[in-house]
Structure 1
């Protein structure tokens, strides 16, 4: 996913941000070198340095959901770059409206806003010449979405699924049963050979999680 060659249409770079070590992700089209920043929760100097290092032109900000560590700096970054914010689903309006309050709680600067485009299941977003499919995956938050690029067998899944774990559901509007349903009905059909970047921790593949993840492995779900 971070191969330095241009044989692949999509490249990705993880930029850990905020005290919560959230995986802000740069993705870009290798043909056009135009990209998007997914989930810029904070630490804008670090994100901008990564953009410069990658040598890309950012054309939009994408959000998987509205939690402070994913969305706190989305509005300032978008304003500085002069680009739109797309996502998450409108059911996360609740979280985007309280970014300033949540930021004070976590020691992160949060700027409330509404995105230029709310996303719904079945939408697509473009990055350069890439087209990513949008899936509404509630459970961690009501308006969580993921982004999938089928030709690259790549997904950015936010806080739905992690290597060895799943997203927490004890925060307002969380629903554990709904989260597991999102994983099984939205993520697994994308293919076991899909590699994913989660919102925290190391990348993995759906195949690995279906075999080893104690929460959503095939064995766990059939028990």
Structure 2
């Protein structure tokens, strides 16, 4: 497995291209914008785009998803259906976040906790992790000890919960139950900032380590 990270939009959101190196098939996770950069990376690495996967419906994670779907004739998959209202409100989000105007669009398939999705020979388990948003999901690849977590948890921090339908207790519960229970050497690839590991966050993250009350 190879993962190419492309920071997109003024929010420097970590769009990820996940590559099955045996098949050269790829998926784009959370294409928040800058479709030209994403397409350039696909071309540079001679990759065939198989699908678009979304962790949640915030515009800085989905802004280029519809354009890429139309260009490559692929499916947009995820997140959980509880996220529908964020897709309903994409035009409002554009105003709220200072993006160019955008019309609502929707995934081709919603995901549920425990689902499995594949790119080439790589299989990922879907974990529903609400709190930052109600329909947020993460993608866990067991063989390569990697979880792509969107805005659930960051190095030393956690996702915001002050947006509509955010819930801080629910977010902590999601992290403790579904992220901190993964093997300690699991790499955590967040939607913003640097990568980290489960063991590092268990030991140092003030929101989940238990060291600070």
TM-score normalised by the chain length of structure 1: 0.92
Question: Which of the numbers 143, 146, 149 marks the counterpart of 1:151?
Answer: 143
Per-residue deviation, residues 87-118 of structure 1 (Å, max 9, x unmatched): 00000000011112211332324342121110
Structure 2 residue aligned with 1:84? 75
Task: Please tell me whether residue 175 in structure 1 is matched to residue 167 in structure 2.
Answer: yes
Bigger proportion of residues as strand = 2
Which residue is 1:28 aligned to? 19
Gaps of 5+ in 2: none
User: What is the SS of the residue equivalent to 2:86?
Assistant: helix
Which residue of the other structure, out of 106, 122, 131, is the alignment partner of 2:97?
Answer: 106
Task: Specify which structure has the higher proportion of helix.
Answer: 1
Q: C-alpha deviations, 1:163-189, integer Å up to 9, x for none?
A: 110000000010000000000001112
Task: Find the partner of 1:14 among 5, 29, 43.
Answer: 5
Root-mean-square deviation (CA, aligned residues, Å) is: 1.1
Q: CA deviation at 1:218?
A: 4.2
Post-superposition offset of 1:50: 1.5
**How far apart, CA to CA, are the structure 2 residues paired with 1:104 and 1:43?**
18
Q: Which runs of structure 1 show a deviation greater than 3 angstroms over 4 or more consecutive aligned residues?
A: none
8 Å contact from structure 1 (residues 72, 103) kept in 2 = no
Does 1:202 find its partner at 2:179?
Answer: no
Q: Is the 8 A contact 1:36 1:58 kept in 2?
A: yes
Give the aligned partner of residue 29 of structure 2. 38
Distance 1:85 1:206, change over 3 A: same
Please give the alpha-carbon distance, in whole angstroms, between the structure 1 residues aligned to 2:152 and 2:195: 13
Distance in 2 of aligned mates of 1:182 and 1:214 = 16
Instruction: Give yes or no for the alignment of 1:116 onto 2:108.
Output: yes
TM-score with structure 2 length normalisation? Answer: 0.96
Higher mean C-alpha deviation, range 105-114 or range 179-188: 105-114
Q: Give the superposition deviation at 1:216.
A: 1.2
List runs of 5+ in structure 1 lacking aligned partners. Answer: 1-9
Structure 1 residue 93 corresponds to structure 2 residue 84: yes
